[in-house]
Amino acid sequence: MRIHVKNSYSVVNPKKAIDSFGTLTTPHMFTRVFGEDTWEDGWIDQRHSIELDPSAFVLHYAGNVFEGMKAIRTVDGNVNIIRPHEHAMRFNRSCDRMVAPEMPEPEFIEAIDALVHIDNGFVPDSNEGAYCYIRPNIIATTPALGLNPPAEFLFYIILSPSKPFFGANPAPQSLLAVDQARAHPGGTGQAKTGGNYAGSLLFKKRARDHGHIEALYIDQNQVTETGAANFYMIKDGVFITPPLNGFEGKSGVILQGITRKSILEILPDLNIPVSERAITLDELLTGITTGNVTEMGIMGTAAVIQPIKTIAYDRGTYTVASQQLGTITSAVRNHLLNIYRGIEEDKHNWLHPVTAASLSMVYQER
């Protein structure tokens, strides 16, 4: 892919303090238009507003697909993207579901590399867990109110230097278990598309209004996940997380989390037994009451791994005995962050270095 760069400038030590997730931005963005069945060249320009016709498909029918991944600076200063191939594959699976054009995986990754390379100065030091969040997004721009597969799309990438969602040393939090579906079997739950998230906000708000960080979706007594992170519990020393193929033959309910996948890959390295199997709400609440469930948590790019101490459900609260991070949760968390930061060996090949060498950028004067 040819990438044109215009109006670019470099900032070596941005001075703004990073104290949250997703609020700071970097100076540049990547854009690429799809129309007449082809992808045009890519552009890197200063971050700017997007002009859309008021009838653009995305504004009415939520035609979009997005991804969320990280660039992290290792302790010796190099910048790596975490598992971009996995994100590219998930992006394209989501695009298929939402009738958006796929982007060839090497081009998706090259676009990210190019933008992160140009805004490299905004990838923070990774002490305290800071990183640069990468948000690719594709929106259907076709101006027509008829509900038909759109033909025109805009793909763009923006970056946001961030801190982990729940802080560098996350205190255990509580979830509100709700008998609601974030996604429906056979629906769009395995696609990262905006409507899934907009639809979940009512329950997130309800949870927040009662002092919980998120809703935990219970579908016919089965524990699924939260609005933007996968769930696990430690029961009798085993790390247990619901399977992605749903339950009773139903698929598409739980998002195929890449942090979840990474954690399942490192658990054997840490000699922690693991099981991907269905968890009923009864099993979870009983296990907390009897003390067999010793730790719980949620996993995702923004949260990394966040311990949960309490599940609130139907006027009851169920709290695990340990109010701390938990031995297994903290071992997994440290191991993951140490691999990201280049302290532990990257033996599963998750880190993708950002180097100028592979980039086909054409610089243009103003």
Stretch that binds ligand PLP, among 201-209, 215-223, 252-260, 305-313 (CB under 6 A): 252-260
Contact between 229 and ligand PLP per CB under 6 A:
yes
Among 116, 258, 266, 305, binds ligand PLP (CB under 6 A): 258
DSSP state of 171: P
- CA 260 – CA 43 distance, rounded (Å): 33
Q: Which of 333, 247, 307, 244 is nearest to 283 (CA)?
A: 247
For residue 229, the minimal CB distance to ligand PLP (Å) is 5
Contact between 230 and ligand PLP per CB under 6 A:
yes
Contact between 263 and ligand PLP per CB under 6 A:
no
Smaller CB distance to ligand PLP: residue 222 or 301?
301
For residue 25, the minimal CB distance to ligand PLP (Å) is 20
Contact between 213 and ligand PLP per CB under 6 A:
no
For residue 54, the minimal CB distance to ligand PLP (Å) is 29
For residue 263, the minimal CB distance to ligand PLP (Å) is 9
Q: Which two tokens stand for residue 286?
A: 């009983």
For residue 225, the minimal CB distance to ligand PLP (Å) is 5
Contact between 129 and ligand PLP per CB under 6 A:
no
Contact between 160 and ligand PLP per CB under 6 A:
no
For residue 114, with 0-12 CB atoms within 10 Å meaning exposed, 13-18 middle and 19 or more buried, which class applies?
buried
- CA 202 – CA 207 distance, rounded (Å): 9
CA distances from 314 to 144, 145, 177, 212, 217 (A): 45, 42, 8, 14, 13
Contact between 68 and ligand PLP per CB under 6 A:
yes
Question: What are the backbone angles phi and psi of residue 214, rounded to the nearest 5°?
Answer: -160, 170
Smaller CB distance to ligand PLP: residue 3 or 284?
284
Contact between 214 and ligand PLP per CB under 6 A:
no
Contact indicator for 47, 53 with CB cutoff of 8 Å: no
For residue 349, the minimal CB distance to ligand PLP (Å) is 17
Contact indicator for 240, 260 with CB cutoff of 8 Å: no
Residue with tokens 């394209």: 92
For residue 9, with 0-12 CB atoms within 10 Å meaning exposed, 13-18 middle and 19 or more buried, which class applies?
exposed
Among 255, 284, 293, 311, binds ligand PLP (CB under 6 A): 255
Beta bridge partners of 299: 230, 305
Smaller CB distance to ligand PLP: residue 113 or 225?
225
Rg of the chain on CA atoms, in Å: 21
Contact between 326 and ligand PLP per CB under 6 A:
no
Contact indicator for 213, 253 with CB cutoff of 8 Å: no
Nearby residues of 136 by Cβ (< 8 Å), 6 or more positions away = 66, 67, 87, 91, 108, 111, 112, 155, 156, 157
Contact between 354 and ligand PLP per CB under 6 A:
no
Stretch that binds ligand PLP, among 4-12, 42-50, 103-111, 227-235 (CB under 6 A): 227-235
Contact between 225 and ligand PLP per CB under 6 A:
yes
Contact between 42 and ligand PLP per CB under 6 A:
no
List residues binding ligand PLP (CB under 6 A): 68, 225, 228-230, 255, 257-260, 300-301
